[in-house]
Amino acid sequence: MRLGGYADATSVVARERHLQLIALTVPWLAPGTVISHVSAGVLHGLPVPDEFFGRVTATRQRAGMGGGNSSPSLHTFALPLQPADCTVIDGVPVTSKSRTAADLARLLGPHDAVVMLDGALHDPAGGEGRGIRDEISRHLVEAQTRRGAARAIRSLARADGRAESPLESLSRLMMRECGLPLAELQMEIRDASGRLVGRGDFGWRDARVIGECDGRIKYRDLARPGEDPLDVLMREKRRENQIQALGWTVVRWTWDDLAQPRVLCHRLGSALGLL
């Protein structure tokens, strides 16, 4: 399982540079050509590993298959495009979010595809965005004779819009590959009166175990106006203490821990009473 391209500030800078490259490229695109695939993923804010950011990706209308071309700075696909497959973001013609996710799912490897699809399915209000899974599935069915379609359909079946970060997505895949029991995602913990005490990224109710991913982006997003990282850490520590006081075990991990999956699986298995 490859972890690069999601975890550090370098990937954020790479995204900004790719956005600049898109802006420089768009004026030179042939009429009817739209930004697609990796570049569309960046415009839609989807989690795409930065190893693919070296050149802009676009699609021009073609009824059949083949006929794309490539240069050091631009790769153009020739694929069928319907008007509903396209939208505009900040004045840039781009494939829709669902079409972009389907195209990327065929292009990326299995783990990266699930991470990206988790991001495409995620609704910040909670759970999955309404209808987005069906839209992505429709695009994949339409592309079922193209390379990578069967793999992409399998990746979509494994995707879960409740994941809130690439670290959570890859952790879920790691747990599955290690054979750990299925966890409940974004599980709420309540006290005897029903008051919400906290929410865990992963939860195993029978074992009373909570799994928490600690990523830099997560703590940045948790910060309230005027708070610094120390304020967030202290608030999270108080929340964890309250959860533990109710008899729950909390297991935390970071990107560095995920890089050693056997060790992390052993920690989780031990907490779950499986070892």
pLDDT tens track for 97-106: 999 999 999 9
Burial of 264 from C-beta contacts in 10 A (0-12 / 13-18 / 19+): buried
Name every residue whose Cβ is closer than 8 Å to that of residue 128 and which is 6 or more positions away in sequence.
Answer: 121, 122, 160, 161, 162
Roughly how many angstroms between the first and final C-alpha of the chain, as a whole number?
A: 24
Interstrand relation of 184-190 and 92-95 (parallel, antiparallel or unpaired): unpaired
Regarding whether 175 and 52 lie in a shared domain, the answer is: no
Confidence of residue 148 (pLDDT cuts 50, 70, 90): very high
Domain assignment of residue 1, yes or no: no
Please state, in angstroms and rounded to a whole number, the distance separating the CA atoms of residues 75 and 272: 48
Same domain assignment for residues 23 and 93:
yes
What is the value of pTM for the model shown? 0.90
> CA-CA distance, 195 to 198, in Å (whole number)?
9
Cβ-based neighbour number of residue 19 at 10 Å: 16
| Residue 71 pLDDT grade (very low, low, confident, very high; cuts 50, 70, 90) | confident
For residue 3, being part of any structural domain is answered with: no
pLDDT tens readout for residues 162-212: 999 999 999 999 999 999 999 999 999 999 999 999 999 999 999 999 999
**Residue 16: per-residue pLDDT:** 93
Identify whether 2 is part of a domain. no
Contact 148, 106 (CB under 8 A): yes
Q: Both 101 and 137 in a single domain? A: yes
Given 162, 196, 224, the domain boundary residue is 162
Q: Which of 162, 183, 199 is the last residue of a domain?
A: 162
Q: What percent of the chain has pLDDT over 90?
A: 73
65 within 8 A of 106, measured Cβ to Cβ: no
Please identify, among 127, 162, 197, the residue that sits at the C-terminal boundary of a domain. 162
DSSP letter, residue 149: H
Quickly state the pLDDT bin for 27 (edges 50, 70, 90): very high
Q: Find the mean pLDDT for residues 35-39.
A: 97
30 vs 61: CA distance, rounded Å = 11
pLDDT value of residue 188:
95
Cα 105 from Cα 48, distance rounded (Å): 10
Domain boundaries, position 19: 9-162
Q: Which residue(s) pair with 60 in the sheet?
A: 78
Task: Give yes or no: residues 87 and 56 share one domain.
Answer: yes
Q: Is 152 in the same domain as 226?
A: no
Non-local (6+) Cβ contacts of 224 within 8 A are 231
> Is residue 76 a contact partner of residue 34, using CB atoms and an 8 Å limit?
no
Confirm whether 135 is domain-assigned: yes
Q: Which of 129, 103, 2 is nearest to 43 (CA)?
A: 103
Indicate whether 155 and 219 sit together in one domain. no
Evaluate if residue 117 carries a pLDDT over 70: yes
pLDDT given at position 219: 44
Cβ–Cβ < 8 Å for 197, 243 = yes
**pLDDT recorded at residue 229:** 60
- Total count of domains within the chain: 2
